[in-house]
Amino acid sequence: MSNYKKYDEDFKKSLVNLYNGGKTQAALCKEYGVSQTALSRWIKLYSEVQMESGELLTVKQVRELQKQKALLEEENLILKKANCHLHATLEQRLKAISLLATDHSIVRLCQVLRVNRSTYYKFLSKIPSARSVENQQIKRIILQIYTETKFRLGAAKIKIVLQRDYGISISIGRVYRLMKTMDLPKMSTVKPRFRYQKPTVSSTCPNLLKQQFHSKQPNRIWVSDISYIPVKKGFVYLCVILDIFSRKVIAWNVYASMTAKLVCDTVERAVHSRNPVQSVIFHSDRGSQYLSQELRQVQEKYNLIPSYSKLAYPWDNAVTESFFKYMKKEELNRRNFSSLEEVKLACFEYIEGFYNSKRPHSANNFLSPNLKELAFLNDSS
């Protein structure tokens, strides 16, 4: 039979009061048959301590209060980390417990988030449904597309890329819901504002295009424009030429000054790249670079027929305006440039590495410009 004796709280407190009244520990141990170690421990636990508020508490009570405080602090920390609001679903709470399992005990997490431990362990051993597995696979592909295109595509175009490149046919709504759960960064769209002026018609600057932005084959209509790009000290200037048939950028140049040479050199690159066998309509606005004598000589040399938008009427050159709008939104406005070379590299990556080769275009039935021209060549052969 064990010689261990169990003493109640009143007995311990009484001995402590006798000690505080003047009796020695040795006398109390001899009189009441308790060990010196036990009595010393009781004196530490039940001796009263005066708090800052003036209240008298025993060491044991202080320790209990400290323990409660630590539990409350841990509970607040768990609630902050879990990010579960008052009406969070059971699945959200279970996922939060799974994420925080390495930081806190499962028992405490289940208590704070009001989940039975058996429910949590059942959740861990649950086999995911076929739909969940498929969604995870699609989300991985969406993330790959989104990062490869530098966050430029939304749900509608990602749906097209999924079907075109991966053979996955799902609705735009499902793509949107999956992207929403992935918490991907969004891009803002700034609506362009134009100051309207009544267009005028000039016989010296004829408008041959007349907003007919469609062509049945390549190298029949080219459109061009220049855009400002801010750098650390001033601006640089991007000139592009697009083929209306596929919306492909067939030539581009970035110069430090906006002169006629910028346009002439870009036209030279377009001609050497495309080698048109027939005359081509070359449409632009009425900027001084496009009305220059140097460009007129280049146009006559390569049998390019000039066409011009009405004065202060950008809608006549909507194809290039639209191209610059999306290029700035998807690439240029998202970065700060310090030099001409940085701008050239960014334009090369966007135009050659993304726009011409990968970006679905609504005018091409959501084919990229390169695929649209390839389809035309296959149909012609």
Cβ–Cβ under 8 Å, residues 96 and 80: no
Q: Who contacts 161 (Cβ-Cβ below 8 Å, separation ≥6)? A: 145, 153, 358, 360
Distance between CA 24 and CA 146 in Å, rounded?
Answer: 79
Least confident of 24-38, 54-68, 125-139, 344-358: 54-68
Identify the band that residue 255 occupies on the pLDDT scale cut at 50, 70 and 90: very high
Residue 80: per-residue pLDDT: 84
Cβ–Cβ under 8 Å, residues 153 and 161: yes
Residue-wise pLDDT tens digits, 131-155: 989 999 999 999 999 988 888 888 9
Residue 380: per-residue pLDDT: 82
Q: Is the pLDDT of residue 193 over 80?
A: no
Distance between CA 152 and CA 354 in Å, rounded?
Answer: 10
Which two tokens mark 46? 């039940």
Residue-wise pLDDT tens digits, 198-243: 555 455 678 899 999 999 999 999 999 999 999 998 999 999 999 9
Residue 195: per-residue pLDDT: 58
Residue 1: per-residue pLDDT: 44
Cβ–Cβ under 8 Å, residues 120 and 133: no
Mean pLDDT of 252-276: 95
* % pLDDT > 90, the chain: 51
- In which region does residue 51 sit, left (phi positive, over 0), alpha (psi from -120 to 50) or beta (all else)? beta
Cβ–Cβ under 8 Å, residues 268 and 298: yes
Cβ–Cβ under 8 Å, residues 222 and 337: no
pTM of the model: 0.61
Best CA proximity match to 253, nearest among 351, 356, 338: 351
* Better pLDDT: 33 or 254: 254
Distance between CA 299 and CA 306 in Å, rounded?
Answer: 7
Identify the band that residue 292 occupies on the pLDDT scale cut at 50, 70 and 90: very high
Best CA proximity match to 331, nearest among 313, 315, 308, 347: 347
What is the H or E stretch that residue 91 is in? helix 90-100
Cβ–Cβ under 8 Å, residues 316 and 309: yes
Range with the largest mean pLDDT of 49-63, 170-184, 245-259, 305-319: 245-259
Residue 137: per-residue pLDDT: 94
* Better pLDDT: 44 or 82: 82
Q: Is the pLDDT of residue 196 over 70?
A: no
The separation between CA 35 and the C-alpha centre of its own chain, rounded to angstroms, equals 69
Q: In the beta sheet, which residues pair with residue 222?
A: 243, 282
Residue-wise pLDDT tens digits, 148-192: 888 888 899 999 999 999 999 999 999 999 998 888 876 655 554
Mean pLDDT, the chain, rounded, equals 86
Residue 52: per-residue pLDDT: 64
Radius of gyration of the chain (CA): 38
Q: 328-340: b or e for each residue (b if 16 or more CB lie within 10 Å)? A: eebbbeeeebeee
Residue 173: per-residue pLDDT: 93
Give residue 325's identity as a one-letter amino acid code. K
CB atoms within 10 A of CB 9: 11
**Which position has the token pair 């280049």?**
298
Q: Who contacts 287 (Cβ-Cβ below 8 Å, separation ≥6)? A: 226
Residue 201: per-residue pLDDT: 47
Residue 50: per-residue pLDDT: 61
Q: Who contacts 50 (Cβ-Cβ below 8 Å, separation ≥6)? A: 56
Give residue 146's identity as a one-letter amino acid code. Y
Q: Who contacts 316 (Cβ-Cβ below 8 Å, separation ≥6)? A: 199, 207, 209, 210, 211, 283, 285, 309, 310
* Better pLDDT: 90 or 226: 226
